[in-house]
Structure 1
Amino acid sequence: MSVAEVGHRVRQKSMDILQRIGFGLARQRMAAGHAGNPWTQLPKNVDVTPYLVAADGILAGQFSVFSLRHLDLGFPPQWNRCPKTGVLAPLTFGKSLNYRDESLVGDIKYLWEPSRHLELVTLAQAWHLSGDHRYAQGARDLVDSWIDQCPYPNGPHWTSSLEHSVRLVNWAVAWHLLGGEQSPLFEGESGKAFRERWVQSIYQHCHFISGHFSRYSSANNHLLGELMGLFIGALTWPLWPESKRWRDRAARELEVEALRQNAADGVNREQAFWYHHEVADMMLLCLMFARGNGVDFSADFTARLEAMMEFIAAVMDASGNVPMVGDSDDAVMVRFSREQGFNPYRSLLATAAVLFGRVDFARKARSTDDKTLWLLGDAAAGRLGELVGSCAPTGATRAFPDGGYWVLGDRLDQSDEVRVVADAGPLGYLSIAAHGHADALAFTLSAAGTELLVDPGTFAYHTQKQWRDYFRGTAAHNTVRIDGCDQSVIGGNFMWNAHAAARCHEFASNDRVDAWEASHDGYQRLPDPVTHRRRLRLDKVAGLLEVTDKLVCNSRHQVEIFWHFHPECRVQLVDDVVHAESGRASLSLRMVGGSLRARIFRGSSEPMAGWYSPRFDEKQPSTTVVFSGEVEAASTLSTRITLHIATEQQPATCAVQENEGNQ
């Protein structure tokens, strides 16, 4: 930490001590005036069935929290009991509660998640679409019970400003879906009392956020999320003298942080694609609420949001798959959609297509999803259809040098495309690089919309440290590891002590060949320093991807090259040649010369290898092939990947047998 950050944290700790004894807390404040406007003309042309089914499940006490599906938590649930471990967290002063202590609070991610109140929005949607009072009453019971069980400022739900902010945004969305100031929930003396109770908690939320922003080395997506919550909270409920000051401050800082945390080419600096989606969603929600209330952000803000959508479009394959680069906790700001097969990345592109009039976004999105309708209203469907059918030419950005990603490919966005996403970006954002992975010079490979070589994901955050370190380590990425060491040095669950620095030396593309070359310095710290330089050459005519790994060093080193296959790939290793197929796509992978030999792993625990995490806190066996051996000194290692895509009528054929465990 810098001296300034140490001073900041000392001041924050001092403020927490004073608040613990009652100084500086939010006081009872009389709310005056009316709430603001909704973000759009709320839609009606949405299939009601999935929302009613989901809402009925919630009223029956059924909640899904990360890997735990349809938990019976009761309605309303016990908000301070961890759904995963059953631990009941104490109602001590929130800012002094050690929420990282599993014995005290359980798994904090599982404890916090239901209190974001995504389910409140579902109940409000069900009432908006059906008019059934049971859902409105359920929404009231949910809010009432939370305020009862989570008294300000005590317990695990008064520790994190980001959690307050996400809850506040869901409250704002639900408020408008429930009818706003004209909601039947606010009728009569009981209704007025409920409204007053709710807005008093809203004031406490805004007050808490305004005094506990994430700063310095923690000023990543958490800070953006906190500003989002305060901005939308103050805009939706301009009921107190502080409201305008909160709103204006949040808007100013949102402008600054949106440009600071997202590179000019549109890549979020956390180097984690799910967080790129989250931050884009934060900015989109702020933009929608602002416009609904006669406020707007600058042209720079909206242009940066549009650039972020361009990046999503570039890395998304023909089937809508986006590589799982960097950390992901599956968090959403608001769960607008309950439709089957919802794709959050395509949804962002659909919304952005309508907002920015982008034909390329529309064609990648293909059709309107429910979230887009909830955000933009029923008219969005027609507008998207017009864009999809437009004859206007579309362009595709493939180089993102500020963010550190490049797209190599052939017939991109066609049904028989080949798409490679190559990484030569920074480890992560700020000094701790909290959500970055040690994945320098890794790449993913998709063919015909089928994922072949993948980034295996994240799996764990606060708990299961061994797995946390594995999934973000070098061995869990399609790159080279030297002497069994990660490229960057782990310092904690959300901290890195040493950062590998990568840079791109070349990117060239024509009708026949795409070429990319980059290097990193992560192994300069070894007693005999090593520089890893990787070159990718995609021969579009031959269907051949050549991978050349050059190791610059002076003495002997242990070398491993990792290849991670999607779980649906059928993989066979025969005489050090890898054969893999999935759907219409197949490949063969072999090393040319050299002394490295291959081993295949699937669901191995010793060593950890052959795992894939499709969602937070879930993992499943997949196939990993590792070529390993020693090099005596500077060496060049060549790998040839030959691709084949069958016609749509003729699936790929490659007789293979799955291998369980390690061989």
Structure 2
Amino acid sequence: MSTLAWKLNRLKLMGAPEIVWRVRQLAQKKASKLGVGLVAKPPAPNLSAMGANFIGDAAGIDVAALRQAADNVLAGRWNVFAMRGLNLGFPPQWNRDPKTGTNAPMKLGKAIDYRRESVVGDIKYLWEPSRHLELVTLALAWRASGEQRYAAGARLLLESWFDQCPYPNGVHWTSSLELAVRLLNWAFAWQLLGGAESALFKGEAGERFQRRWLDNIYQHCHFIRGYFSRHSSANNHLFGEYMGLFVASVQWPCWPESARWQALARRGLEVEALKQNTEDGVNKEQAIYYQHEVMDMMLLCHHIGKANGAGFSAAYLERLERLAEFVAALMDAGGNVPMTGDADDAQMVRLAYEPDWSPYRSLLASCALLFERGEFKRKAARLDDKNRWLFGADGATRWDALAAATTEQPVMAFPQGGYYLMGSQFGTEREVRIVVDCAPLGYLSIAAHGHADALSFTLSAAGEELLTDPGTYAYHTQKAWRDYFRSTAAHNTVQVDGQDQSEIGGNFMWLRKANAKLLAHVPQGTVQVFEGEQDGYRRLADPVLHRRKIDFDATSNVLVVLDTLECRGTHDVALHWHFAETCRVEGRAQALFALGRRSRLDMQCSFGDGPELLRSSEAPLGGWISRRFDEKEGITTAVWRGRISGSTQIETRIALALV
């Protein structure tokens, strides 16, 4: 999409107040080219004012895994999304995209169009190392081992970044969210390395290093304060920006502005925690990985704030608890969570290096301790290293004393968030879990991280995914793949005339949006029922209303899916079903079977000429899954295609057999 077309689409989704605000932002950026509004020279910090320690002793952590990770960083081997063990050197070239080799320009950051691959390369790969999660890795390794080479490496990494990324020039001075995440990691590294009394700050050279770091912290805070994400961009970015400003002003209350920054950020976090998350615990971006990110931000802000006498309100914490209940409801007996909406694999800070670490289980473990919830402990299964670092020996003692729930009784309906469960024998080896999406497309006018997945559902049996959501794969680059993975065709629902339910307007923008509506949900009894409708295809010349009814017989483990398409004219219709990579799928006539490790699924549908099985197909696109950002692999996608004339009902019967 051309830059002009993107700008026109973006303008369509703005109201008058946002247009005025963006004009002011543009004027501010132009003025900054003349030095107006920039920090001429950071004021001297008050070194007697420093935040309290918020990191535990972390007894029982996997020291070997941590040291291996730290040794890899010192050896110049980095993991950046799909590029594992990447030789970036130590320290790396911070302004060189490791994926494309593009050197980003060293001019005023706000004058750089970071969305243009020809200018910066793949911006995600360029930004990720500069979040400085690896700095924390080195600091953790020093704290765990006492080996000076890790602390020295942390100092070298920071000084190289200061040298190569001078305020306010380059791509690392463009996005306030990136600065905010960097501040969070700096706060952890600062404390882990010994705080203001760190040996790294001793002597004349150490004092210069400390002052240089504090000057950068001040510049980061000043930058974020001047460039908050507002209006249609006020999603997780705004929450993260408040997080960075809050953590920095609590950790380093060294300047006259610090108290104002802290008050502003704290107030913003309290407001956005309730505004961006529904009362029943669903993040409004309709993207489960972003729900995890916002939960982590909420948790870390409260944890750091509480250590400094600035914890958050009961309403804030209650909303975090509801968010955890939603994650627990989505997670099946095998620990799988549907990949609904966008995901970019971001961690706010990395404190765990176990090979089987799960961000969702980790958050549930945190919330088990925070809210004394045995249900969350059951789902989390164990106390991971991240929580050992956060809560220390006291947290481990409280974890051991907390009785795990003996049975699982998930919340079955999230009417404000738009998700509904059906299933049986939850939390056991005989579990069947069905999660139905009857939610809005996304948050605010651009719905940036939503997917066109209305009335789609996922299905797992015996803790094994069968019908799955294929994930995200791409963001700023590879437009065809970006569009496919968030399309209707990439979800377990009905596509009409080859169109998406909602209209794509850009990589993080939707124009006309489908509205989903619940008609019925009966999660109890022998036969459980869901029924809903979505109006995304009513925009067609001959409008089509899609209604879906799902009956689940919990005794026989049979689902009957009835798709009703109300229309007058003729339309091409496709039903897509995406099977997890562990499934072996074979089709025959009007049916197919999918054989998993612990279950078997038989699907029958008389529509069209029977299933077309796609695997790793590029024409048409289909048969792909992305478990991690910028990585994809083949799965089987089954498509039933046919033409309808007038209102039509299509029945699909799905029978499960558990091994």
Whether the 8 Å CA contact 1:427–1:437 is kept in 2: the answer is yes
1:559 partnered with 2:573: yes
Whether the 8 Å CA contact 1:368–1:380 is kept in 2: the answer is no
* Aligned match of 1:573: 587
Matched AA of 1:64: N
How big is the shift at 1:395? Answer: 4.2
Alignment equivalent of 1:426, drawn from 440, 445, 463: 440
Alignment equivalent of 1:485, drawn from 499, 506, 524: 499
Structure 2 Cα separation of the partners of residues 51 and 84 of structure 1: 26
Aligned residue for 2:402, secondary structure, equals helix
1:74 partnered with 2:118: no
* Aligned match of 2:9: none
Whether the 8 Å CA contact 2:562–2:651 is kept in 1: the answer is yes
CA RMSD of aligned residues (A): 1.1
1:628 partnered with 2:641: yes
Alignment equivalent of 1:44, drawn from 59, 65, 71: 59
Structure 1 Cα separation of the partners of residues 404 and 165 of structure 2: 51
* Aligned match of 1:652: none
1:503 partnered with 2:517: yes
Aligned residue for 1:378, secondary structure, equals helix
1:129 partnered with 2:166: no
Alignment equivalent of 1:597, drawn from 601, 610, 625: 610
How big is the shift at 1:92? Answer: 0.5
Using the size of structure 2 for normalisation, the TM-score is 0.97
Whether the 8 Å CA contact 1:440–1:479 is kept in 2: the answer is yes
- Could you list the per-position Cα deviations for residues 493-512 of structure 1 after superposition, in whole angstroms to 9, with x for gaps in the alignment? 00001100001111112241
Structure 2 Cα separation of the partners of residues 476 and 510 of structure 1: 30
How big is the shift at 1:132? Answer: 0.4
Alignment of 1:72-221 (within 5 A): 72-221=87-236
Whether the 8 Å CA contact 1:359–1:394 is kept in 2: the answer is no
- Could you list the per-position Cα deviations for residues 250-309 of structure 1 after superposition, in whole angstroms to 9, with x for gaps in the alignment? 000111111000000010000000000000001001000110101121110000000000
How big is the shift at 1:375? Answer: 1.5
How big is the shift at 1:394? Answer: 6.1
1:17 partnered with 2:45: no
Mark the CA change 1:553 to 1:596 in structure 2 (over 3 Å): closer, same or farther: farther
Alignment equivalent of 2:387, drawn from 372, 379, 387: 372
Whether the 8 Å CA contact 1:263–1:269 is kept in 2: the answer is yes
Structure 2 Cα separation of the partners of residues 38 and 596 of structure 1: 66
* Aligned match of 1:465: 479
1:494 partnered with 2:494: no
1:542 partnered with 2:542: no
Structure 1 Cα separation of the partners of residues 397 and 657 of structure 2: 38
Matched AA of 1:579: F
Whether the 8 Å CA contact 2:591–2:610 is kept in 1: the answer is no
* Aligned match of 2:533: 519
Whether the 8 Å CA contact 1:310–1:397 is kept in 2: the answer is yes
How big is the shift at 1:597? Answer: 2.8
Aligned residue for 2:511, secondary structure, equals strand
Structure 1 Cα separation of the partners of residues 404 and 317 of structure 2: 25
Alignment equivalent of 1:262, drawn from 277, 281, 293: 277
Whether the 8 Å CA contact 1:34–1:181 is kept in 2: the answer is no
Structure 1 Cα separation of the partners of residues 159 and 511 of structure 2: 44
* Aligned match of 1:613: 626
Matched AA of 2:72: G
1:319 partnered with 2:342: no
Structure 2 Cα separation of the partners of residues 390 and 602 of structure 1: 41
- Could you list the per-position Cα deviations for residues 557-605 of structure 1 after superposition, in whole angstroms to 9, with x for gaps in the alignment? 11100000011111100112110011111110011x4445321100010
Structure 2 Cα separation of the partners of residues 394 and 493 of structure 1: 39
How big is the shift at 1:389? Answer: 4.4
Structure 2 Cα separation of the partners of residues 386 and 600 of structure 1: 51
Alignment equivalent of 1:57, drawn from 52, 72, 76: 72
Whether the 8 Å CA contact 1:44–1:129 is kept in 2: the answer is no
Aligned residue for 1:28, secondary structure, equals coil
Whether the 8 Å CA contact 1:603–1:622 is kept in 2: the answer is yes
Structure 1 Cα separation of the partners of residues 371 and 267 of structure 2: 23
Matched AA of 1:606: A
Structure 2 Cα separation of the partners of residues 202 and 445 of structure 1: 47
Alignment of 1:234-313 (within 5 A): 234-313=249-328
Structure 2 Cα separation of the partners of residues 627 and 567 of structure 1: 20
Whether the 8 Å CA contact 2:589–2:610 is kept in 1: the answer is no
Deviates more, 1:38-47 or 1:24-33: 38-47
Structure 1 Cα separation of the partners of residues 551 and 235 of structure 2: 35
How big is the shift at 1:66? Answer: 0.2
Q: Unpaired runs of 5+ in structure 1? A: 647-663
Structure 1 Cα separation of the partners of residues 416 and 74 of structure 2: 47
Structure 2 Cα separation of the partners of residues 327 and 41 of structure 1: 33
- Could you list the per-position Cα deviations for residues 91-113 of structure 1 after superposition, in whole angstroms to 9, with x for gaps in the alignment? 10000011112121110000000
Using the size of structure 1 for normalisation, the TM-score is 0.96
Aligned residue for 1:134, secondary structure, equals helix
Whether the 8 Å CA contact 2:431–2:463 is kept in 1: the answer is yes
- Could you list the per-position Cα deviations for residues 524-566 of structure 1 after superposition, in whole angstroms to 9, with x for gaps in the alignment? 0011111000011110111101111011111211110000001
Mark the CA change 1:82 to 1:594 in structure 2 (over 3 Å): closer, same or farther: closer
Structure 2 Cα separation of the partners of residues 219 and 282 of structure 1: 15
Structure 1 Cα separation of the partners of residues 222 and 319 of structure 2: 29
